[in-house]
Chains A and B, each alone.
Chain A
């Protein structure tokens, strides 16, 4: 049992949950993830580690309530318990000095871009950050990212904040002006695919962090496999960070949707149980 020590609503759908997990906090590095199971009947699902505090012994995740499991997590409050947390899993981001880096976060991925940006910054890199959301009210983590002392660009689909358009519009502009050594993108699969395509003409190494469907997170089930350079790779043990140019994104999009009918059914049941629907 893992005690929730903080809960914060970042926008109507996205919340931050901090909980006690001292051993995980001690071992955690930016870019890694954990597997959670909220209650006895719950699924096991992965979430990127947003932050961790070795002294307090806490780990923090940011979660968008979309399906049953994420809704269950977002329904927890301070002093509630998460039944199971395992991790940290996956490879951490590099801590080498690379040079000029652009970090991109879209939607809930904006939160996940925070630890990556922080790690790159701490390794002495020059980091620019582009974040995006559908509109101003959905934008998250702007303040936190700014506090890292990076140049921050914001794009909203409707232009209600920052510039109107997608993160890739900003990216293309930046790329046309200066040379960069690395692009790191985390967010919806379509966004990561678009980033990869935008970066291609410039021949800049582009990394993305994937959030595939998983059960154990340790390589046992193979459910998170992707087609990578025409081979099968497991997101949990080989990733979650991959070279975007080698990922078959179309395949990945199909695989991510493979339980969507069942997920809808489960969500309906869940909401019925809560009395939202009949």
Chain B
């Protein structure tokens, strides 16, 4: 963490909370080469085992070391079509970097930073150097038509791999722009939208068709698409319906789901209101419930929108917080106040429906639950109130029933998640699924990994037809 922090320069906290520009600046060429030169190029590299996108990490790091940046990006692109995205938002500390042998004694190689470096290098060269994958692949694989539903990380990855294999792929996206959570969820200062647009453009450049404003389950059903000749389906519709707290007062005007709050700001650009038409109301004192990456994103957006005080309210302790350490640290530097071991019990408002305060209970930690995290137990008589005018609920999502309800034969789990095996096969022949619709809210890279595996399974299935 310290090594990485020293390595990459970033906007100072007091400056960056006034803008939506990206926080870290990226490595310089000299820094990247120096960092890559630390790599031991292990004969049996562990880092690769930690990468759901199956990138040949030692090879691309060696290429950077040798200043062969074009080679480096091409090595990454063999298996990963969203390198500039992954370099920024993957939790590398829990993946490739966690397994790096250098980490045993000192700092692991900053693999994520290096990935970002070459991806950005490629974009900077874009005018003089055509990305090698931008040429549409001829449709060869028996011309089978495949429908990918949802243009988020899982769908895009699956579509790219299938297009590369020569399938006739169409991606159907419900929103007006592709990218899924990369566009509506993750804020500009963590993942600039221009970068997402560029990388998504590379994928559609492979020859995958993209239909926007297209809601499978409503505009057309999977049954309709079958009649049109689609032979296989990959459902990657994402996280879905936001959970609320289930406490009194959650219908008050200032209560947002993190999905709504972030979508207004990121996808609809409410931070540029009134130049953009979509508004968002930000009070002075904001409580964000939850402590995942989505909660950190919400808290940091609220600060940038002009909030005076932003609290993270979390029922467990610091150790259990699911957000990336890097994001927690940045939120803290920016002045977000952490109210841990705290459980909201009700929100009170005035006669106009505006929030006045939130009442909470203090918790202590009990025995670990089935997930291994220590269970929070409310402490009797510990009730206290905080004056608040905005509440953002970042407590996860339930799967969206919109599509699933139109595919009667598909088996779903207790909460409505689609049940799929390791390769993405569902209970219905020819229908595959992956990403958050299967696992519940997880990471961008996990969804991409699921997309990759499903692409291979789809290929195998179609070859057997």
Residue A126 at the chain B interface, CB threshold 8 Å: no
Residue A168 at the chain B interface, CB threshold 8 Å: no
- The smallest C-beta distance from A22 to any residue of chain B, in angstroms, reads 10
Known A232-B251, A251-B251: A220·B268 in contact at CB below 8 Å: no
Please measure, in the bound complex, the distance between the C-alpha atom of A263 and the C-alpha atom of B277, giving whole angstroms: 8
- Which of B253, B254, B259, B276 has a CB less than 8 Å from the CB of A41? B276
B253 touches A258 (CB 8 A): yes
A215 touches B260 (CB 8 A): yes
Of chain A, the residue at the smallest CB distance from B277 is A43
Please measure, in the bound complex, the distance between the C-alpha atom of A174 and the C-alpha atom of B397, giving whole angstroms: 46
Residue A68 at the chain B interface, CB threshold 8 Å: yes
Chain A residues closer than 8 Å to B263, beta-carbon distance: 215-216, 220-221
A220 touches B220 (CB 8 A): no
B281 touches A84 (CB 8 A): no
Q: Which of A32-59 contact B (CB under 8 A)?
A: 37, 41-44
A218 touches B353 (CB 8 A): no
Residue B273 at the chain A interface, CB threshold 8 Å: yes
- Which of A24, A216, A254, A265 has a CB less than 8 Å from the CB of B253? A254
Residue B257 at the chain A interface, CB threshold 8 Å: yes
A220 touches B241 (CB 8 A): yes
Which of A84, A88, A232, A258 lies at the interface centre, i.e. has the most chain B CB atoms within 10 A of its CB?
A258
B218 touches A88 (CB 8 A): yes
Which are the 3 A-B pairs with shortest beta-carbon distances?
A254-B353, A262-B279, A221-B260
Please measure, in the bound complex, the distance between the C-alpha atom of A44 and the C-alpha atom of B244, giving whole angstroms: 23
Known A215-B260, A216-B174, A220-B263: A86·B251 in contact at CB below 8 Å: no
Given A221-B257, A222-B259, A237-B401, list of 19 further CB < 8 A pairs? A23-B220, A41-B276, A44-B268, A86-B214, A86-B215, A88-B219, A215-B264, A218-B218, A220-B400, A221-B242, A222-B241, A225-B251, A258-B253, A258-B254, A258-B353, A265-B279, A266-B273, A266-B279, A269-B274
Of chain B, the residue at the smallest CB distance from A253 is B353
B275 touches A41 (CB 8 A): yes
- The smallest C-beta distance from A183 to any residue of chain B, in angstroms, reads 25
Please measure, in the bound complex, the distance between the C-alpha atom of A115 and the C-alpha atom of B134, giving whole angstroms: 47
Residue B213 at the chain A interface, CB threshold 8 Å: yes
A-B contact count (CB 8 A): 125
Residue A83 at the chain B interface, CB threshold 8 Å: yes
Please measure, in the bound complex, the distance between the C-alpha atom of A223 and the C-alpha atom of B215, giving whole angstroms: 19
Q: Which of B186-229 contact A (CB under 8 A)?
A: 212-215, 218-220
Q: List 7 A-B contacts (CB under 8 A).
A: A37-B176, A68-B277, A85-B213, A86-B175, A219-B241, A220-B263, A263-B279
B281 touches A259 (CB 8 A): yes
Residue A255 at the chain B interface, CB threshold 8 Å: yes
A83 touches B176 (CB 8 A): yes
Residue B256 at the chain A interface, CB threshold 8 Å: yes
Chain A residues closer than 8 Å to B254, beta-carbon distance: 258
Chain B residues closer than 8 Å to A68, beta-carbon distance: 277
Chain A residues closer than 8 Å to B277, beta-carbon distance: 41-43, 68-69, 266, 270
Chain A residues closer than 8 Å to B259, beta-carbon distance: 220-222
Chain A residues closer than 8 Å to B176, beta-carbon distance: 37, 44, 83-84, 86
Task: Count A-side interface residues using an 8 Å CB cutoff.
Answer: 44
A220 touches B215 (CB 8 A): no
Please measure, in the bound complex, the distance between the C-alpha atom of A269 and the C-alpha atom of B402, giving whole angstroms: 37
B274 touches A87 (CB 8 A): no
- Main SS class of interface, A: mixed
Q: Which of B428-461 contact A (CB under 8 A)?
A: none
Please measure, in the bound complex, the distance between the C-alpha atom of A23 and the C-alpha atom of B215, giving whole angstroms: 11
Residue A103 at the chain B interface, CB threshold 8 Å: no
A222 touches B174 (CB 8 A): no
By a beta-carbon cutoff of 8 Å, the part of chain B in contact with chain A is 174-176, 184, 212-215, 218-220, 239-242, 244, 250-251, 253-254, 256-257, 259-260, 263-264, 267-269, 273-281, 352-353, 400-402
- The smallest C-beta distance from B230 to any residue of chain A, in angstroms, reads 15
Residue A98 at the chain B interface, CB threshold 8 Å: no
Which of A86, A87, A89 lies at the interface centre, i.e. has the most chain B CB atoms within 10 A of its CB?
A86
Residue A227 at the chain B interface, CB threshold 8 Å: yes
A24 touches B279 (CB 8 A): no
Please measure, in the bound complex, the distance between the C-alpha atom of A220 and the C-alpha atom of B403, giving whole angstroms: 13
Please measure, in the bound complex, the distance between the C-alpha atom of A270 and the C-alpha atom of B239, giving whole angstroms: 35
Chain A residues closer than 8 Å to B401, beta-carbon distance: 219, 237
A218 touches B400 (CB 8 A): yes
Please measure, in the bound complex, the distance between the C-alpha atom of A219 and the C-alpha atom of B353, giving whole angstroms: 23
Of chain B, the residue at the smallest CB distance from A32 is B218
Q: Which of A205-261 contact B (CB under 8 A)?
A: 215-216, 218-223, 225-227, 232, 234, 237, 248, 251, 254-255, 257-259
Please measure, in the bound complex, the distance between the C-alpha atom of A222 and the C-alpha atom of B262, giving whole angstroms: 12
- Which of A87, A220, A259, A270 has a CB less than 8 Å from the CB of B219? A87
Known A215-B264, A251-B251: A266·B352 in contact at CB below 8 Å: no
Chain A residues closer than 8 Å to B402, beta-carbon distance: 218-219, 237
A220 touches B275 (CB 8 A): no
Chain B residues closer than 8 Å to A263, beta-carbon distance: 279
Chain B residues closer than 8 Å to A220, beta-carbon distance: 184, 239-242, 259, 263, 400
Of chain A, the residue at the smallest CB distance from B405 is A237
Known A27-B220, A84-B212: A216·B175 in contact at CB below 8 Å: yes
B353 touches A84 (CB 8 A): no
- The smallest C-beta distance from A24 to any residue of chain B, in angstroms, reads 6
Of chain A, the residue at the smallest CB distance from B260 is A221
- The smallest C-beta distance from A92 to any residue of chain B, in angstroms, reads 11
A86 touches B275 (CB 8 A): no
Please measure, in the bound complex, the distance between the C-alpha atom of A219 and the C-alpha atom of B253, giving whole angstroms: 18
Chain B residues closer than 8 Å to A237, beta-carbon distance: 241, 400-402
Chain A residues closer than 8 Å to B212, beta-carbon distance: 84
Please measure, in the bound complex, the distance between the C-alpha atom of A248 and the C-alpha atom of B250, giving whole angstroms: 14
Of chain B, the residue at the smallest CB distance from A90 is B218
Of chain A, the residue at the smallest CB distance from B254 is A258
Of chain B, the residue at the smallest CB distance from A237 is B402
